Amino acid sequence: MMKRLLKHSLKLLLGLVMVVMFAACQPTPTANSQSPAPASPDVSVAYPARALSASPAQLPPLPYGYDALSKAIDAETMRLHHDQHHAAYVKNLNEALKDQPQVQNRSVEALLRDLNSVPESIRMKVRNNAGGHLNHTIFWQIMSPDGGGQPTGAIAQEINQTFGSFENFQKQFNVAGGDRFGSGWVWLVRNGQGQLQITTTPNQDNPISEGNFPIMGNDVWEHAYYLKYRNRRAEYLSNWWNVVNWAEVDRRAKVRLGTASS
């Protein structure tokens, strides 16, 4: 009788140990899980409620037609930019990660936040192509055929408070975009102190690699404007305001990361 009881207890104990071990081996929650606040650092960089998949990476469809942004960007540029350039970043990212099981469970955002943990042999490829994928995924969403005009929502007030006026903000953003030497991006970010800030990044670097949250960004690579504007980057920068999707920018400005909340 005692022996059976002991055996039974041992079985129970073993079961308990296995449950605990199983739980301990589970990956830490990602943006895909329904975790309570504070938000996972991955949430809301590419999309409101899910991180951007890197394995596989997939080209998201344009949310409008190629000619929809013709107030600022011509249809041919949009077609090439989305179907060729963005598609190439997606393809190259998939190629870079295909034989790298140790990083295949990580989102694009997670890879870019901690590039030093990416194997050195693929680090530059991941930096450029995960960055290119994330940057363009954001870019298509913060533009709209119904865009332009004055900012709306809380971001309008915050821009006025930070930069004095919307016109001042536009001026500073355009100057920063014009001054970015070579290829890169000009951004409005929320920095680690929770403040709005204009920054630029070279190549396809995304602000999250520097601990800043990208609220809106304009692509100043020549491929973004050269067919229509030739070398006149300043004219492209100034026309681009006609397609800015302020509703989406305002939504992004409200994102508070677990690590960056003030």
Interaction site with Mn ion (CB under 5 A) = 219, 221
> Which DSSP category does 7 fall into?
H
Give yes or no for a contact between 209 and 115, defined as CB atoms under 8 angstroms apart.
yes
Closest approach of Cβ 219 to Mn ion, in Å? 4
- Give the dihedral sign, CA 62/68/69/73: positive
- Identify the residue whose tokens are 């073993």: 14
Across-strand partners of 198? 188
Task: Give me the amino acid identity at 198.
Answer: I
Give the distance from CA 191 to its chain's centroid: 14
Taking the complex as a whole, the smallest distance from the CB of residue 147 to Mn ion amounts, in Å, to 18
With respect to Mn ion, which residue has the nearer C-beta, 38 or 63? 63
Q: Which residue is nearest to Mn ion (CB)?
A: 219
Rounded to a whole number of angstroms, the minimum distance from the CB of residue 85 to Mn ion is 5
Nearer to Mn ion, 166 or 226 (CB): 226
- Of 163 and 225, nearer to Mn ion (C-beta) is 225
Shortest spacing between CB 221 and Mn ion, in angstroms: 5
Whichever of 42 and 219 has its CB closer to Mn ion, that residue is 219
Cross-strand pairs, 244: 143
Classify the C-alpha dihedral 179-185-187-191 as positive or negative. Answer: negative
Name the residue nearer to Mn ion (CB basis): 136 or 252. Answer: 136
Nearer to Mn ion among residue 173 and residue 221 (C-beta): 221
Find the Cα–Cα–Cα–Cα dihedral 104, 107, 110, 116, rounded to 10°.
30
For the CB of residue 158, give the shortest distance to Mn ion in the complex, in Å: 27
Is the Cβ of residue 162 or residue 183 nearer to Mn ion in the bound state?
183
Angle at alpha carbon of residue 197, lines to 244 and 200, rounded to 5°: 75
Rounded-to-integer distance, Cα 182 and Cα 4, Å:
77
Distance (Å, whole) CA 175 – CA 225: 17
Residue 99: its H or E element: none
Q: How far is the CB of 135 from Mn ion (least distance, A)?
A: 7
Q: To the nearest whole angstrom, how small is the minimum distance from the Cβ of residue 90 to Mn ion?
A: 13
**Residue matched to tokens 């190259």:** 92
